[in-house]
């Protein structure tokens, strides 16, 4: 479904423009407001994904683990991936799907926000 992220970004941007125009009832100011708000929400959603995926919070969790007073050494856990690789493949596919969804959210959010600024300039 997400093979071409640019195409999906453009399609969802156009669908978003049309649906928000219908939601606003043709009122220009409501349309601009809804474009701006949905753009910011989509940008925040993709930003949260990129911050978490980039490992920003790993430093904090590592530091909190080191500050723990009753720290006991961890032994090796008995969990392993199956030998056929089925456990790792689903993880990678899920990660890839979320990455592509965040990319689409980023560009649709940017498009909504920039289009709302352009509409303000031309009103």
Rounded CA-CA distance 101/71 in Å is 39
Q: What is the pLDDT of residue 81?
A: 56
Rounded CA-CA distance 73/14 in Å is 54
Q: Range of 35's domain?
A: 5-67+88-122
- Token pair 């009832």 is found at 25
Query: Is 81 within a domain?
Result: no
Q: Convert the pLDDT of each residue in 13-41 to its tens digit.
A: 999 999 999 999 989 899 999 999 999 99
Burial of 109 (0-12, 13-18, 19+ CB in 10 A): buried
Number of folded domains that form the chain: 1
Query: Is 102 within a domain?
Result: yes
Q: Convert the pLDDT of each residue in 27-81 to its tens digit.
A: 989 999 999 999 999 999 999 998 888 887 787 777 777 776 665 555 555 555 5
Query: Is 52 within a domain?
Result: yes
- Token pair 């300039």 is found at 121
Query: Is 110 within a domain?
Result: yes
Query: Is 103 within a domain?
Result: yes
Query: Is 61 within a domain?
Result: yes
Q: What is the pLDDT of residue 118?
A: 94
Q: What is the pLDDT of residue 18?
A: 93
Q: What angle do CA 85, 1, 92 make, to 5 degrees?
A: 25
């Amino acid at each position: 479904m997400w093979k071409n992220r640019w195409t999906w970004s453009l399609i969802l941007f156009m669908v978003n423009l049309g649906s928000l125009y219908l939601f606003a009832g043709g009122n220009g100011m409501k349309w601009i407001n809804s474009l701006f708000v949905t753009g910011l929400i989509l940008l925040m959603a993709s930003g949260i994904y990129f911050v978490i995926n980039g490992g920003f919070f790993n430093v904090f969790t590592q530091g909190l683990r080191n500050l723990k007073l009753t720290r006991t050494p961890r032994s090796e856990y008995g969990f392993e991936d199956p030998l056929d690789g089925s456990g790792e493949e689903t993880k990678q596919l899920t990660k890839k799907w979320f990455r592509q969804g965040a990319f689409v959210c980023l560009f649709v959010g940017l498009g909504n926000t920039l289009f709302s600024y352009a509409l303000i300039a031309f009103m």
